[in-house]
Amino acid sequence: MNIRPFYVAPILPRELAPLKEIAMNLWYSWNWEAVRLFIMIDRDIWEESYQNPVAMLGRVPQSRLKELAQDDGFVANVERVHSNLKNYLARLKWFERTYENEKDMKVAYFSCEFGLDEGLPVYSGGLGILAGDHLKSATDLGIPLVGVGLLYRQGYFRQRLNADGWQLEEYPENDWYNMPVSLEKNEKDEPLTVCVEMGDVDVYAQVWRVQVGAIQLYLLDTNIEKNQPDMREITTQLYGGDRDMRIRQELILGIGGIRALRALKIEPTVYHINEGHSAFQILERMAELIDKKGLSFAEAKEIVWGSNVFTTHTPVPAGNEQFQTDLLQKYLSKMVARLGLSWPDFLNLGRINPGDESESFGMTVLALRLSAFCNGVSRLHGEVSRGMWKGIWKNLSDPSEVPITHITNGIHTRSWLSHDIGDLFESYLGPRFAQNPWEFNVWDRVDRIPDIELWRTHQRRRERLVFFARQRLKDQLRRRGAQSYELSAADEVLSPHALTIGFARRFATYKRANLLFSDLDRLKRLVANSDQPIQFIIAGKAHPQDTPAKEIIKRIIHIMRDPVFRASFVFIEDYDVNVARYLVQGCDVWLNTPRRPLEASGTSGQKSSANGVLNLSILDGWWDEAYVPELGWAIGNRQDFPDTETQDKVEAQALYDCLENDVVPLFYKRDNSDLPRDWIKKMKLSMKTLGRQFNTHRMLEEYTEKLYLPAKRAGMVLTANGYKVGKELAAWRRKAADNWNEVAITDVKTSMPNGDLLVGDRLNIRVLARLGGLSAEDVAVEVLFGRLDSKGKLTNPSIKRMDYAGKQASADHIFSGEVSCMESGRHGFSVRIRAYNKDLIREYSSDYVVWG
User: Looking at residue 632, what is its pLDDT?
Assistant: 98
Measure the CA–CA gap between 535 and 281, rounded to whole angstroms.
48
Question: SS3 for 705-767, per residue?
Answer: HHHHHHHHHHHHHHHHHHHHHHHHHHHHHHHHHHHHHHCEEEEEEECCCCCCCCCCCEEEEEE
User: Looking at residue 845, what is its pLDDT?
Assistant: 63
User: Looking at residue 362, what is its pLDDT?
Assistant: 97
Q: Is the pLDDT of residue 13 over 90?
A: yes
Measure the CA–CA gap between 337 and 76, rounded to whole angstroms.
62
User: Looking at residue 843, what is its pLDDT?
Assistant: 73
User: Looking at residue 756, what is its pLDDT?
Assistant: 80
Q: Is the pLDDT of residue 318 over 80?
A: no
Q: Which of 216-230, 231-245, 495-509, 791-805 has the lowest mean pLDDT?
A: 791-805
Q: What's the rounded mean pLDDT across residues 269-276?
A: 98
User: Looking at residue 4, what is its pLDDT?
Assistant: 66
User: Looking at residue 565, what is its pLDDT?
Assistant: 96
CB atoms within 10 A of CB 473: 23
Reported confidence tier of residue 222, pLDDT bands at 50, 70, 90:
very high
End-to-end CA distance of the chain: 77
Measure the CA–CA gap between 408 and 292, rounded to whole angstroms.
38
The string of pLDDT tens digits covering residues 713-766 is 999 999 999 999 999 999 999 999 999 999 999 999 998 777 788 888 889 999
Supply angle C-alpha 152, 158, 163, rounded to 5: 160
Q: Is the pLDDT of residue 21 over 80?
A: yes
Which has the closest alpha carbon to 406: 434, 387, 432? Answer: 387
Helix (H, G, I), strand (E, B) or coil at 254: helix
User: Looking at residue 74, what is its pLDDT?
Assistant: 97
Measure the CA–CA gap between 74 and 59, rounded to whole angstroms.
19
User: Looking at residue 846, what is its pLDDT?
Assistant: 64
The string of pLDDT tens digits covering residues 161-198 is 999 999 999 999 999 989 999 999 999 999 999 999 99
User: Looking at residue 1, what is its pLDDT?
Assistant: 65
604 vs 241, residue with greater confidence: 604
Long-range contacts of 629-638 (CB under 8 A, 24+ apart): 630/682, 630/685, 631/682, 631/685, 631/686, 631/689, 631/690, 632/682, 632/686, 633/658, 633/662, 633/663, 635/593, 636/596, 638/596
The string of pLDDT tens digits covering residues 820-831 is 988 888 999 999
Q: Is the pLDDT of residue 7 over 70?
A: no
User: Looking at residue 753, what is its pLDDT?
Assistant: 72
256 in Cβ contact with 196 (< 8 Å): yes
Helix (H, G, I), strand (E, B) or coil at 61: coil
Contacts of 53 (CB under 8 A, 6+ apart): 19, 22, 23, 28, 38, 119, 180
588 in Cβ contact with 462 (< 8 Å): yes
CB atoms within 10 A of CB 237: 20
User: Looking at residue 842, what is its pLDDT?
Assistant: 82
Q: What's the rounded mean pLDDT across residues 119-123?
A: 92
Residue-averaged pLDDT of the chain: 95
Q: Is the pLDDT of residue 131 over 90?
A: yes
Measure the CA–CA gap between 679 and 684, rounded to whole angstroms.
9
Q: Per DSSP, which regions of 320-422 are E strands? A: 322-323, 361-362, 373-376, 405-406
User: Looking at residue 439, what is its pLDDT?
Assistant: 95
Using CA atoms, how far residue 550 sits from 156, 166, 330, 737, in Å, is 16, 7, 34, 52
Measure the CA–CA gap between 305 and 719, rounded to whole angstroms.
12
Q: Which of 108-117, 548-557, 624-633, 811-820 has the lowest mean pLDDT?
A: 811-820
Measure the CA–CA gap between 119 and 49, rounded to whole angstroms.
8
Q: What is the pTM of this model?
A: 0.96
User: Looking at residue 822, what is its pLDDT?
Assistant: 87
Q: What's the rounded mean pLDDT across residues 803-827?
A: 90
Measure the CA–CA gap between 133 and 128, rounded to whole angstroms.
9
What is the distance of C-alpha 80 from the center of its chain? 34
474: left (phi over 0), alpha (psi -120 to 50) or beta: alpha
Q: Is the pLDDT of residue 532 over 90?
A: yes
Q: What percent of the chain clears pLDDT 70, i.e. is strictly above it?
A: 99
Q: Is the pLDDT of residue 810 over 70?
A: yes
User: Looking at residue 543, what is its pLDDT?
Assistant: 93
User: Looking at residue 240, what is its pLDDT?
Assistant: 85
The string of pLDDT tens digits covering residues 403-429 is 999 999 999 999 999 999 999 999 999
